[in-house]
Amino acid sequence: MKHLSDYTAADLAELARQDVARALAEDVGTGDLTAALVDPARPARARILARESAVICGTPWVQAAVHALDPNARLTWHVTEGQRCEANQVVLSIEGLAQPLLSAERTALNFLQLLSAVATKTATFVQAVAGTRAAIVDTRKTLPGLRLAQKYAVTTGGGANHRVGLYDAVLIKENHIAAAGGVAAVLQRVRETAPQARFVEIEVETLAQLDEALRCGATMVLLDNMDIPTLQEAVHLNAGRAILEISGGVNLDTVRALAETGVDRISIGALTKDVKAIDFSMRFEAL
């Protein structure tokens, strides 16, 4: 499976099509009983409005939802992917047939409100650490079945992706170290068993563990739940040898101070786990 960074526009469109197909299957099912009240030949024009400021994300999913039910519908975006809209701004105009637009409405809005929420939250964290070397990074704490979509939204908001799943990179934690027989043993083992991994990262909880990991050749280290003074010492001890990432207890009140310690990456599960949907609505216009 390709990493998201290797996706082309066609790959992204296919991902959106697959996500939308599942969503429409659970929503429309055997048919939209309410939309059936409308003449199938009746044309319609609709607008999607943002009720609050947000970074727009999810245009491939919206387009896939509309075109799945009305292939000839015309969509005109007034705010492009990754741009910020303002409250009460029209972000999209649609012309097509009324019946399929009514059926696609909720699925299109669901993707737009979720992915825009992830992108907007990510952008807020990115702005909070501006001027430091720290990148804002996501985690695997995503909605089941929508991981790639949410990770795409993180990049749209200016963040970076961590591993996509258990298959593409290695993150060695305390239990892995204990089960494998220690830091040196586990790092040697991973070189033998996972040469295809995009990266190998090892988690440490103390400066002594960091020192051991560096002496064993670690190139990427996760500093777990360390306070600011300890993080500063860790950066000094590391001296640029490995990529340093921190996680645990990160929020908008703490992220700037954490970034100023000089770490390279800050991973935040809340980017995809604790999101509040952006408020969008679709309004039909008389023709």
User: For the segment 127-162, what is each residue's pLDDT rounded down to a tens digit?
Assistant: 999 999 999 999 999 999 999 999 999 999 999 999
79, pLDDT greater than 70: yes
Per the CB < 8 A criterion, the answer to whether 49 and 123 are in contact is: no
Q: Could you confirm whether 141 is annotated as catalytic?
A: yes
The CB density around residue 58, as the number of other CB atoms within 10 Å, is 30
Beta bridge partners of 282: 48
Closest CA to 85 of 114, 56, 58: 56
CB 129 within 8 A of CB 136: yes
Residue 1 has a pLDDT of 64
Given pLDDT bands bounded at 50, 70 and 90, which one contains residue 195? confident
What confidence score (pLDDT) does residue 103 get? 97
203 as an active site residue: the answer is: yes
Give the residue from 164, 150, 75, 162 showing the smallest Cα distance to 119: 150
Average pLDDT over residues 175-199: 88
Instruction: Establish whether 173 is a catalytic residue.
Output: yes
Higher pLDDT, 184 or 136: 136
State mean pLDDT over 165-173.
92
Residue 17 bears catalytic tag: no
Instruction: Look at the block and give the residue holding tokens 């059936």.
Output: 36
Q: Domains in the chain, start-ordered, CATH in brackets?
A: 4-126+276-285 (3.90.1170.20), 131-273 (3.20.20.70)
With a CB cutoff of 8 Å and minimum separation 6, the contacts of 272 are 118, 138, 139, 141, 142, 143, 150, 151, 153, 154
SS3 41: coil
For the record, the structure tokens of 130 come out as 């501006």
Q: Is residue 115 within 8 Å of 61, Cβ to Cβ?
A: yes
What is the structure's pLDDT at 246?
96
Please give the Cα distance from 221 to 210 (Å, whole number): 8
Active site residue 276: no
Widest distance between CA atoms in the chain = 72
Other beta carbons less than 10 A from residue 156's beta carbon: 23
Render pLDDT for 96-129 as a digit per residue (tens, 0 to 9): 999 999 999 999 999 999 999 999 999 999 999 9
Query: Which one is predicted more confidently, 225 or 155?
Result: 155
Mean pLDDT of 179-204: 90
Q: Report the length, in residues, of the chain.
A: 287
**Residue of 141, 147, 241, 273 marked catalytic:** 141
